[in-house]
């Protein structure tokens, strides 16, 4: 069983190597920009990790404040942002449910693959804990602002196949939370089967290897993935 707590607290560099292979089709940016045009926005990001979304948005938005509970992950994000020369960002350690940010400072509150951690492993209270995170996202938004949440709809699948333990969470967002939703492909592209095996098993476990697709005609080694996007305006 993969120890995600250890990965997030001790193995940020290895995690970043995997993330660099994700979404080679560049579908995430296109989908986000269609939901809410990004240029000139003030952004608050929850669960920024090693800066996957942070570095994607920074060149276009006015400002971005990125938070995560793991300083280890944020160190990688900060190094990438400094290297790129952008100056419109700030980073801080914070839980989704208690952001050190003032009210109504942002046009967009976004979280990628992270709000889910208020849900998993908390059978009895996840709705309450999720509600805290959603309240914080709405609190930092100005009137007319947008909340966007990205979560997995299945790694190793070519069509949406949400993990069983997340179905109720996704249903809650749509049926009770008032979110609209769509999905995109965010496939991983590896240089070789060896690299695919090394990087994908690190985070997803040994069983993921059988879902890697080799396209001999293109020389591609791909791990398919579906990602869901939920959004609402406040």
DSSP 156-167: T-SS----GGGH
Query: What is the pLDDT at residue 12?
Result: 96
DSSP 55-109: HHHTTTSSEEEEEES-HHHHHHHHHHHHHHT--SEEEEE-BTTB-S--TT-EEEE
Helix (H) or strand (E) holding 112: strand 106-112
CA angle 226, 72, 103 (to 5 degrees): 75
Sign of the CA dihedral with 86 first, then 89, 92, and 97 last: negative
The residue among 128, 12, 141 whose CA lies nearest residue 72 is 12
Average pLDDT estimate for 8-15:
96
Query: What is the pLDDT at residue 214?
Result: 84
Above pLDDT 90, what percent of the chain? 93
Q: Residue 85: left (phi > 0), alpha (psi -120 to 50), or beta?
A: left
pTM of the model: 0.96
pLDDT at 192 over 80: yes
At 215, the pLDDT band (50, 70, 90 cuts) reads confident
Euclidean distance between CA atoms 208 and 89, whole angstroms: 35
3-class secondary structure, 43: strand
3-state helix, strand, coil in the chain (%, to 5): 40, 30, 30
Query: What is the pLDDT at residue 22?
Result: 98
Sign of the CA dihedral with 166 first, then 172, 177, and 180 last: positive
To the nearest 10°, the Cα dihedral for 100, 106, 81, 4?
60
Q: What is the pLDDT of residues 26-65, one digit of tens each?
A: 999 999 999 999 999 999 999 999 999 999 999 999 999 9
Query: What is the pLDDT at residue 1?
Result: 64
Query: What is the pLDDT at residue 219?
Result: 75
The answer for residues whose C-beta is within 8 angstroms of residue 131's C-beta and 6 or more apart is none
pLDDT at 190 over 80: yes
What does the chain come to in residues?
A: 234
Assess contact for 48 and 91: CB atoms under 8 A: yes
Euclidean distance between CA atoms 57 and 32, whole angstroms: 10
pLDDT at 134 over 70: yes
For each of the domains in the chain, give its residue range(s) and CATH number, in order of start. 4-183+228-233 (3.40.50.150)
């Amino acid at each position: 069983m993969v120890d995600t707590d250890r990965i997030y607290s001790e193995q940020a560099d290895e995690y970043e190597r995997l993330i660099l292979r994700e979404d080679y089709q560049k579908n995430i940016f296109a989908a986000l920009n269609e939901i809410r045009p990004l240029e000139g926005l003030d952004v608050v990001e929850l669960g920024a990790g090693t800066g996957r979304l942070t570095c994607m948005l920074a060149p276009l938005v006015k400002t971005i404040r990125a938070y995560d509970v793991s300083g280890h992950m944020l160190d990688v994000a900060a190094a990438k942002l400094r290297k790129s020369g952008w100056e419109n960002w700030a980073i801080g350690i914070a839980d989704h449910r208690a952001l050190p940010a003032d009210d109504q400072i942002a046009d967009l509150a976004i979280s990628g693959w992270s709000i889910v951690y208020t849900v998993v492993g908390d059978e009895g209270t996840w709705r309450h804990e999720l509600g805290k995170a959603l309240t914080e996202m709405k609190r930092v938004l100005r009137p007319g602002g947008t909340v966007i949440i990205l979560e997995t709809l299945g790694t190793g699948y070519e069509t949406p196949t949400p993990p069983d333990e997340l179905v109720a969470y996704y249903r809650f967002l749509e049926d009770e939370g008032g979110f609209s939703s769509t999905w995109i492909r965010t496939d991983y592209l590896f240089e070789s089967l060896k690299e695919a095996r090394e990087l994908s098993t690190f985070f997803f476990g040994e069983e993921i290897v059988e879902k890697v697709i080799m396209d001999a005609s293109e020389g591609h080694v791909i791990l398919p993935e579906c990602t869901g996007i939920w959004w609402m305006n406040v």
